[in-house]
Amino acid sequence: MKTKKTYILAALIVVSVLGSGTAFAKRSFMSVLDKTEGITLTETQRERLETAELEHRKQMIRLRADLSIARLEKHNLLKEKDFKKDAVLTQINKIVAVEKGIQTARLDNHDLIRKVLTDEQWKKYTEELGKHRGGKKGKGHFAGKGPRKGGRRQMSGHGNCPFGGKGQAAAAREAFRTSSAG
């Protein structure tokens, strides 16, 4: 009986560890130059795109950090025993301003790429961009991949989980407690 519990616990740990790998997977970054591989660029165009990409990436890192900090500050304001609604609304406005900054930076980068490339290069670039988005132009990174619930991509460890929708770690703890009690 004890070996059966040990095997069950070991299996749950393995499933938990393997499943968590997808939750922490990093999003791969694809350079603008990677998307222009099939396009013949002049040296000037290549240099302008490299410089623009570096500056854009730095700007996005700063903006995402600002957004994370603003969200954390809002969370802390909401946790206070006697929170002030005006302070939370002010923080929400800061979050919206940073999100607007992110969208504006993306638009500026898109516009710069459009100005650097010729019309023919731009056409090839948008075709290549569509291929990197799962072949469904404008549908996003996960277009046509995997089951969806309510229009959103299903997260690992949730939804149709054999443990009743609980996370894998919680399910493993519960299974261990159940096997220990019996």
In a shared domain, residues 96 and 162: no
Q: What is the 3-state secondary structure (H, E, C) of 119-147?
A: HHHHHHHHHHHHHHCCCCCCCCCCCCCCC
- Domain shared by 121 and 84, yes or no: yes
The answer to whether residue 56 is domain-embedded is yes
182 domain-assigned: yes
Rg (CA), the chain: 24
Q: How many domains does the chain have?
A: 2
Residue 148 maps to a domain: no
In a domain, 55, yes or no: yes
Range of the domain at 105: 42-138
CB 99 within 8 A of CB 67: yes
* Angle ∠(57,60,64) on CA atoms, nearest 5: 140
pLDDT in tens, the chain (182 residues): 566 666 565 555 655 544 544 444 444 556 777 777 778 888 999 999 999 999 999 999 999 999 999 999 999 999 998 889 999 999 999 999 999 999 999 999 999 999 999 999 888 888 877 776 665 544 555 555 555 555 555 444 444 444 455 566 666 667 767 766 65
Residue 128 lies in a domain: yes
Show the 3-state SS of 48-93: HHHHHHHHHHHHHHHHHHHHHHHHHHHHHHHHCCCCCHHHHHHHHH
Answer whether residue 134 is part of any domain. Answer: yes
Q: What is the DSSP letter of 117?
A: S
Read off φ and ψ for residue 49, nearest 5 degrees.
-70, -40
Residue reference for tokens 């619930």: 149
What is the C-alpha separation between 142 and 154, in angstroms, rounded? 11
- Looking at the structure, do residues 124 and 60 belong to the same domain, yes or no? yes
Domain contains 122: yes
**Do 12 and 92 reside in the same domain of the chain?**
no
Instruction: Please report whether residue 27 resides in a domain.
Output: no
101 and 53 co-located in one domain:
yes
Alpha-carbon distance of 154 to 152, in angstroms, equals 6
Residue 79 to residues 72, 87, 92, 128, Cα–Cα distance (Å): 11, 12, 15, 46
Residues 6+ positions from 161 with CB-CB distance below 8 Å? 168, 171
Residue 134's pLDDT is 60
Give the CATH number, domain containing residue 55.
Answer: 1.20.120
In this structure, are 116 and 59 located in the same domain?
A: yes
